[in-house]
Structure 1
Amino acid sequence: MKFKILVIILAVSFFIGCKNKISQNAISSDEEYEKTLIDRENKAAQNQAKSSGLFVKDISFQIKADKKDFEDGIQPWVNIEKSENELPNLINKDEIVIAEEKITVVIDYPLTNIYKFDLKSKKGFNRELLVQEITKEYQKLYQDEEKSATIKTVPMKERKMYNRNQTNGKYGIWGHDLADLALSSIQVYKENGNTILTLGIES
């Protein structure tokens, strides 16, 4: 009888010990990922995609907003996931800000693998068209990532932290859901006769 009791005590102790180890490993893993994210965010801020060409100008994007949310009534970015809801209030949306008929856009955040795509417009590009095309491409990019990944995005309700886990699809998206991202500016460069755009993305 004493032997049976001893076996039970040892089994319970082992089980509790394993649970603690698993729990500690999970905490350690979460903390590690959080540190990695902070490091990546800092590097992304310092090493925002730049063209080797000549810098031409910076294009900003602003939305007319409620003064209770923004003191001056100006929201200094466009929400990428729901840009169609904000386009009616986009300031100077019809202004042609790029006269060239063909441009190349570079998306690097929050991607492990940089993505580039071309756009054409005989009339040049105004702010509204740029927002429509860039946000559409971002939305497609996130969909393609999920389809091609074997490590899927952890649903929000199942996460231990707010940030998105890194997936291993075509682009290796990390840290942020599409809903976290906003377009605040575009940097225009001239490189070997081509017009290259890099993006100022807030998260």
Structure 2
Amino acid sequence: MSKADKTKEYIIERTASIFNTKGYAGTSLNDMTEVTGLTKGSIYGNFKNKDDVAVEAFKYNFGVMSSLFSSEMAKKKTCREKLLVYPYLLGNFSETRFPEGGCPVLNTAVESDDTHPLLRQQTILAFTKWKNGIINLLKDGIAANEFHPDIHLEQVSLTMLAMLEGGIMIRKLTNNQKYIDNIISSLQDYINSL
């Protein structure tokens, strides 16, 4: 890896938590220079603009989150157990390696839907990848006779994601353990009913 590639990677890794916590609009160039220890010229010598850094930071955060889900699912044998990783991680949110600031898909979707087409497109791609990953698990579970063969794959996937993302939002907003426990229980029941 070249020195320029290492610097670019360093900038992405260091700014990822700032973008995921403060958002695109809330993250300033000063924030980026402060967290990296680099000058404005060093940052913009490696990226075209703030948009470019934000997109790469989003991809990095989504990769961290995806790796977390994948590593937990790799410990499970059945497709149902793998799907149950979602409520498990929601319940153990503070103890996991979730990206600082929470779910990058949720955070970026809310901020970019009307204001930042490039970030919105990246968020749609990430969301679609996530949705399709759940659909593939469901298909594998149907093939293994774990799930009812007549479930509507996309509907189940979207419902799970809505419950998960809604749970993350409520966790961040209220930090009310009773609410979180109720959502986790509902998501577990939903997965177990498939």
Provide TM-score, normalisation by structure 2: 0.25
- Whichever structure has more helix as a proportion of its residues is 2
- Whichever structure has more strand as a proportion of its residues is 1
Provide TM-score, normalisation by structure 1: 0.24
